[in-house]
């Protein structure tokens, strides 16, 4: 009986770790896709827009640049957290094989945009993508994904603004 129990325990743990590792790869690939498709640059700009809004609407005229620089120190981490949360919206809307296809397409597009040597395989990926099932899936899920992303980003920007406002009040730099 102990040999059978050990066998089932071994099989169960093997399956568990295999699935757990696959989930991590799925999340990593979504984050890679978001890094590839310009998401970081877009939200870097949104972070800066929020700082401008704080400067114009709330900050005292004598708020030193050192305050803004200190606040910017958290930008990279804040955007990284946003990307991790956005990954769940993509996970909700796309299967892992679909994410892999999108990532391959994005990487091929990036090669072309950077004018690096493009392989025939990358050109074929782009050519096939335009008429593929995944392109139709992206189009079909575009509005739902956009709605999910908008909700997440709006909450992130609201939290960022409140965090900045709190830091300004605490430092005494409000109008």
Mean pLDDT (the chain) is 85
Local confidence band at 115 (pLDDT 50, 70, 90 cut-offs) = low
- Pick the more confident residue, 16 or 139: 139
Give the percent of the chain with pLDDT over 70. 85
Task: Please answer whether residues 36 and 103 qualify as being in contact, where contact means their C-beta atoms are separated by less than 8 angstroms.
Answer: yes
Q: Tokens for 96, please give them.
A: 């892992």
Q: In the structure, what pLDDT confidence band is assigned to residue 21 with cuts at 50, 70 and 90?
A: very low
Residue range 44-93, pLDDT digits in tens:
999 999 999 999 999 999 999 999 999 999 999 999 999 999 999 999 99
Q: How far apart are CA 53 and CA 50, in angstroms?
A: 5
* Residue pLDDT, tens place only, 150-166: 999 999 999 999 999 99
State the pTM of this model.
0.76
Three-state DSSP class for 148? Answer: helix
Q: Residue 145's CB: how many other CB atoms inside 10 A?
A: 17
Q: What is the 3-state composition of the chain as percent helix, strand, coil, each rounded to the nearest 5?
A: 85, 0, 15
- Per the model's pLDDT, the better-predicted residue between 15 and 63 turns out to be 63
């Amino acid at each position: 009986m102990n040999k059978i129990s050990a066998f089932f325990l071994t099989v169960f743990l093997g399956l568990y770790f295999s699935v757990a590792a696959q989930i991590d790869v799925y999340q990593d690939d979504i984050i890679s896709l978001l890094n590839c498709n310009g998401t970081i640059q877009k939200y870097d700009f949104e972070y800066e827009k929020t700082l401008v809004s704080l400067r114009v609407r709330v900050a005292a005229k004598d708020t030193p640049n050192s305050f803004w620089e200190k606040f910017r120190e958290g930008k990279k981490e804040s955007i990284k957290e946003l990307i991790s949360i956005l990954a769940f919206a993509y996970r909700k809307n796309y299967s892992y094989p679909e994410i892999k296809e999108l990532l391959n397409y994005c990487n091929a597009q990036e090669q072309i945009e950077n004018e690096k040597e493009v392989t025939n395989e990358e050109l074929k990926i782009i050519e096939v993508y335009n008429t593929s099932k995944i392109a139709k899936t992206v189009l079909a899920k575009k509005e739902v994904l956009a709605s999910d992303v908008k909700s997440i980003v709006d909450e992130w920007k609201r939290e960022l603004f409140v965090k900045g406002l709190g830091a300004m009040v605490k430092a005494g730099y409000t109008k």
